[in-house]
Chains A and B, each alone.
Chain A
Amino acid sequence: MELDLNLLGNALVSGLLLGGFYAAVTVGVSISFGMLDIVNIAHPAFIILGSYIAYIANSTLGMDPILASILGMPAFYLLGMAIYHIYDVSFERRGDNGLRGLAFFFGILFITEVTLVLVFGVDYRLVEASYIGVSIHLGPIDLPLRLLVPFGISLVLMGGLHLYMSRTFIGRAIQAVAQDPLALRLMAADPSKIKRIAFGLSLATASIGGAILIIIQPVEPSIGRDYIGRIFAICVMGGLGSFAGSLVAAMALGIMESITSTFFGPSWSPAVSFGFLLLTLAFRPSGLFGRA
């Protein structure tokens, strides 16, 4: 195959934009898995739930999907607090968060997916907004707004969370809770409460992630599974819990996927992220910028 520079340039740019979006869907797992050590494999299912909420708001009220997702955030936050509470009482306090904790989240993933199938069926759903379908042209490079808007939202989300985590008391407590719960107690903060807030926050990001997902591509209940590998690959490569690291890892993955699907066909692109994850786990488990 002859290497077409225009094609390559477009693949690079769309990979970069896609990577920004991947960073936004990963940030929730960076909090739950990276900082709290809770392996929430159900996170992608909640992202799909967020997509469907944006879809309902868009198709019935004509609301902008992103606005809908921001309005949905408090509900996701509360849902996250409730789930963490169950998890805490049933598994963490019993010291039984390995096998059963994983099975718990796996069950939640499955229940969410099957419920969505029962309610909405397996058809692909999409949203309508003024910026979908429009592109900015820079010479030979196309910048579809469908990717550019999520990219911008994603950067805002990551930047905001970064500020929150580094500047506020609760943010710093969240970063500390997995490392030394006892020291946190001595600072007069209840580790359970901090983790509950953090987990709520992590699910709240799924609301935004879901909305930008459905802007980028049509959604059906089972595509969440494709994101499990991506999210955890990025999270691990970025060095668990580092926002900047996961942003870089997400862009690297986005570019690789975009190049693979441009030159080898889209049916191969799921294998890229999962292969990436397996190799990362095998050879560089502390991530590219690892601190572990």
Chain B
Amino acid sequence: MRNSAFFAALAGVAILVFGAAKLIDNAYVFFAGYVVLQYIVLSTGWNILGGYTGYVNFGTAAFFAMGAYSTVALHKLVPGLPLPVMMAFGGCVSGLIGLGTGYLTLRLRGTFFGIATLALSVVVQTLITNWSFVGGSRGAYVVRPDTTAFFAIDYIEYLFLLMLGLSVIAVGVARAIEKSKLGYGFATIRDDELAAEASGVPTLRLKLLATALSGGFMGMAGAPLPYYVTYLDPASGFSLSYAVNTIAMPLIGGTSSWLGPVIGAVLLGTLQQVATVTISSALSLLIVGVMLVGFVILAPKGIIGWFAPKRGKGA
């Protein structure tokens, strides 16, 4: 399928999803749906770096929260700025952080990048905690605007719609990368970086591109968060559960294709929403951790690996 056709198909699916949510006509559907969509964006973004190039990012929370905090800052600096603009801005901020981190560490062995991203989220959290303009450790309240860009629509529906649009873009871009020359470049890095470098693949440049794109999507996913929760503090913005979910979802779904993170996010995201309501939120996180460990041990190719045609020796 060509990219434009694929985008059209995705948009069609998105319209159906929104229509279905509207038909159920219950604000909770939008609340819960927003979180699932947010995880589709996060895990798709993570997978551009993690799944395609094989570099593990444990710092999702840092990128996500920087998007959210850039919205908090913009909200105070420029009142009345439309949310999509803020999302683009948050994406740029996180993309740049990704680029910087990548530049500092990607020349080293892969595991160092993973450790550095773990460190990154604590550094960024410390900075935000000490920055009183965005609320510091006390947190910040964000008042939702009264009006939305589309009239006659609830604010939560507006947020849902924005996140839906962002998921379409993220999934579309991920698939386009996968089928392009860029995607093959990424795959060579994952399979044998030394050989790739030796045959002329500009590995560092490709890795930096992947980090920036991946960080950018995470930042965009985080940007609407202050309007969704209306109160944001460092402990919740930088929660480890974002990092765990974002790693668990692609690994459970399957990292080799765009579909894996989507399956993982829909499945795990919905499961968590249900478990949080029916059991408890701590327990639902435990389920995610156990599923993550279980899948990496027992089903290394994830759910899509169960359906993929058997090849000789897969990557």
Contacts and interface: CB of A to CB of B under 8 A. Distances in A.
Interface in B35-70: 50, 54, 56, 58
Nearest to B255: A99
B285 interface: yes
Interface of A: 39, 41, 86, 90, 94, 96, 98-100, 102-104, 106-108, 110-111, 113-115, 117-118, 222, 225-226, 228-229, 232-233, 236, 267-268, 270-271, 274-275, 277-278, 281-282, 285
Contact of A268 (B111, B119, B130, B282): B130
Which of A90, A114, A275: most chain B CB closer than 10 A?
A114
11 contacts: A39-B111, A90-B296, A100-B300, A102-B111, A103-B247, A106-B244, A107-B296, A267-B126, A271-B123, A274-B126, A277-B119
A232 B58 CA distance: 14
B19 interface: no
B115 interface: yes
A236 B285 CA distance: 31
A267 B110 contact: no
Contact of A103 (B129, B130, B251, B286): B251
A271 B112 contact: no
Contacts of B104: 278, 281-282
A120 to B, nearest CB: 12
A270 B288 CA distance: 28
Contacts of A86: 297
Which of A39, A225, A274: most chain B CB closer than 10 A?
A274
B271 interface: no
A103 B56 contact: yes
B114 interface: yes
B297 A285 contact: no
Contacts of B58: 41, 102, 106
B300 A111 contact: no
B8 interface: no
B51 to A, nearest CB: 8
A64 to B, nearest CB: 32
Nearest to B55: A99
Contacts of B159: none
Contacts of B111: 39, 98, 102
B282 A114 contact: yes
A229 B286 CA distance: 24
Nearest to A233: B119
A273 to B, nearest CB: 8
B88 interface: no
B120 to A, nearest CB: 7
A208 to B, nearest CB: 23
Contacts of A107: 244, 248, 289-290, 292-293, 296
A111 B286 CA distance: 6
Contacts of A99: 50, 54, 56, 255
